[in-house]
Structure 1
């Protein structure tokens, strides 16, 4: 069993690392303070093929495997977690379901611009009363002639205000099993589509998040993704890839925080020597390094499993997301602790990593939901 990246994956990792260090890093602290979206930097990412990583080349994508995708997100999140989630959402839960379930007309119209980096996309599943209980959807889609009329509100939509294509879940048959949910390709220029004010978030402040309001939103019948009633099959499959993306993001955040902690521990002196030479600090560094490596391997295993079978990676993705997200919160906490009082200052990167880490155990399925997925798989034998 070879745990090393192959030559192509290593070349990609280095290319993305250079992009993160040279393009994303210079203004990352400023973007966090001001809550500004990195338009130019994301456009640059699109030019590098990072907005179509898992889309086949025939549709304008890079045609990368999921392992390469995870490796790329780790490097981006190591520097700018906000950019990592922007890319993860557009790739995993917008472009991917259009590629997997869309027809050729939908792919040409919506997937190709996403994959070539001309636009970014988002995903509208969560509602005020439909978070972990995703089937409890209140958004309705009623067919009227050659359109569906959508009414409802989606919350916590990543890439709101900046995205040009959104996958929206809505109930088409309230009497059907699992809510009769269907998926639609919706764009902000459709009548009845609007965004609420941007959310003021604790972390990931350079990513755009808000609610999407659908008020008699007119969506052409041609924009139904798959068939009526396919809805939950589509997001659940997409979320397996999304959870691998969040796991990769969590690993990257942990690496970034840990690198800052190691650097500080080597420079800061106490009692006549660098604090890294004190066992109390050295053991924390060792524990963090071990946990990061374990999470990285879990994430790459889940990615490899998804490459083998796109429909059978659910438990592995849940394990990776669960462990990596909780690990990155522990590592970020210790990184702040190692910095002492300076870790509480916004002048130091660990404070930002600490805030950015918190959401990883919440979005695209809370830790509790991941444990449900894992336990069901284990108990089913």
Structure 2
């Protein structure tokens, strides 16, 4: 079987699952307000949580751009289903580049195979998400003692470990930052479930507090001073591309629902698809979705190639795709009229889920800053020649 045939088989499997079992899981999540462990187990059994990891790690070894094609399909499903496959298929990458052989065996491989869950733990309540983090550690012998707070931590309630960014007490900027794997039940760790969100129902989120929580130095990835490199370099660029493709998939779902409704809804003897205003909305949506898809795939290929503009491309893709999703879902809801406001309509859930992606991996204002800084570097005038 060729690589293309193998991928087509996987793609067909994902499409069938999303339309069938995935939709039934979505209804269950909306009814109960939580994601059952059985869903995680099913997706893991089907191989959905290790598609991007190398075969030697137990993954399927899909190239990143191919994985993004599947991410597009998963994103047509429930927001929590999309969140699970997005995070689990990416967090191994953040750890792998800085993990020792022992750490790879203990943390990276089990996270790929589904034996453990690891939560990406960067955001803090009192500052931005970067070099101004204040959660700190003090080293005493072979142990770090961790103190501080984190919030908005996805899977922070059900995880086994936190991949957590902190800094050595007294350091500033990027220097002194560390990436630690903190056990979920470590002494001095307090976890508060904060899962009641507008959309993406069922994805657990947590606020965390640490009071001299002991963490073995052997749980540190990389060296002191490399913490933010692991979080921002190893995870953020591909994750922004993945979130951008999630926007494409969810927009497709909104467009599908709007088109189906417009075909069936009759007013004054005509279906909505016979009315020019609706035709134009749907045509604009189709063009906007396709433009975003191509920009995201371009960013994915640049990341695959290790291009120096991959970070800029990822922010451009995320910025554009989020704006597109906002416009598409707004028109899709408008096409449904007042009925779209009711929870009995799938577009209502899609509309709520879409809002979350405006904040994942940085707002559009953050993406614009990233793009602008990259533009300045790329267009910097050449240095004046030294005088003779």
Question: Which category of TM-score, normalised to the shorter sequence, fits these structures?
Answer: over 0.9
Residue 212 (str. 1) matches residue 208 (str. 2): yes
2:180 to 181, 184, 198: 184
Equivalent residues in 2 for 1:69-80 (5 A)?
69-80=67-78
- TM (normalized to structure 2)? 0.92
Per the TM alignment, residue 230 of structure 1 is displaced from its structure 2 partner at its CA by 0.2
2:110 is aligned with 1:110: no
* Residues 273-320 of structure 1: CA deviation (Å, up to 9, x unaligned): 210111100110011111111111111111111111177520111111
Counterparts of 1:325 and 1:9, CA distance in 2? 27
TM-score where L is the length of structure 1:
0.94
Contact 2:257 2:347 in 1 (8 A): yes
Hey, what does 1:25 align to over in structure 2?
Answer: 23
Structure 1 residues 27 and 90: alpha-carbon distance in aligned structure 2, compared to 1, 3 A threshold: closer
Structure 1 equivalent of residue 305 of structure 2:
308
2:81 counterpart residue number: 83
* Aligned counterparts of 1:72 and 1:161: Cα–Cα separation in 2: 27
Partners of 2:111 and 2:308 lie apart in 1 by: 23
Q: Would the alpha carbon gap of residues 311 and 39 (structure 1) be closer, same or farther in structure 2, given more than 3 Å must change? A: farther
Q: CA RMSD in A?
A: 1.8
Please tell me whether the aligned partners of residues 30 and 201 of structure 2 are also in contact (alpha carbons under 8 angstroms). yes
What is aligned with 1:139? 135
For the residue of structure 1 that corresponds to 2:209, the secondary structure is: strand
Residue 175 (structure 1) aligned with residue 166 (structure 2): no
- Partner of 2:20: helix, strand, or coil? helix
Task: Please give the alpha-carbon distance, in whole angstroms, between the structure 1 residues aligned to 2:76 and 2:38.
Answer: 19
Corresponding residue for 2:41?
43
**Residue 282 of structure 1 pairs with residue 279 of structure 2:** yes
- Tell whether 2:329 aligns with 1:332: yes
Q: Secondary structure at the match of 1:91?
A: helix
| Equivalent residue for 1:364, pick from 361, 364, 370 | 361
Change (3 A) 1:374 1:9: farther
2:13 corresponds to which of 12, 15, 32: 15
The answer on 1:123 being equivalent to 2:120 is yes
Aligned to 2:340: 343
CA contact (8 A) 1:77 1:252 kept: yes
**2:230 maps to what in 1?**
234
Determine the C-alpha separation between the residues in 2 that align with 1:10 and 1:287. Answer: 29
Measure, in 2, the Cα distance between the counterparts of 1:264 and 1:343. Answer: 10
Tell me how far apart the structure 1 counterparts of residues 15 and 211 of structure 2 sit (CA, whole Å): 42
| Deviation for aligned residue 1:170 | 0.2
Report the count of equivalent residues: 375
Q: Among 53, 57, 62, which residue is 2:51 paired with?
A: 53
Q: What is aligned with 2:32?
A: 34
Residues 291/7 of structure 1: CA separation in 2 closer, same or farther (3 Å cut): farther
Unaligned runs of 5+ in 1: none
Q: Distance in 1 between matches of 2:120 and 2:34?
A: 21
Distance 2:134 2:263 in 1: 54
Partner of 2:383: none
> Residues 14 and 70 of structure 2 are in contact (CA less than 8 Å); yes or no, is this contact kept in structure 1?
yes
What are structure 2's unaligned runs of at least 5 residues?
Answer: 379-388
CA contact (8 A) 2:74 2:249 kept: yes
Tell me, in whole angstroms, the C-alpha distance in 2 between the residues paired with 1:81 and 1:70: 16
Is the CA contact 1:182–1:228 (under 8 Å) kept in the aligned structure 2? Answer: yes
The separation in 2 between residues aligned to 1:100 and 1:155, in whole angstroms, is 26
Which 10-residue stretch deviates more, 291-300 or 21-30? Answer: 21-30
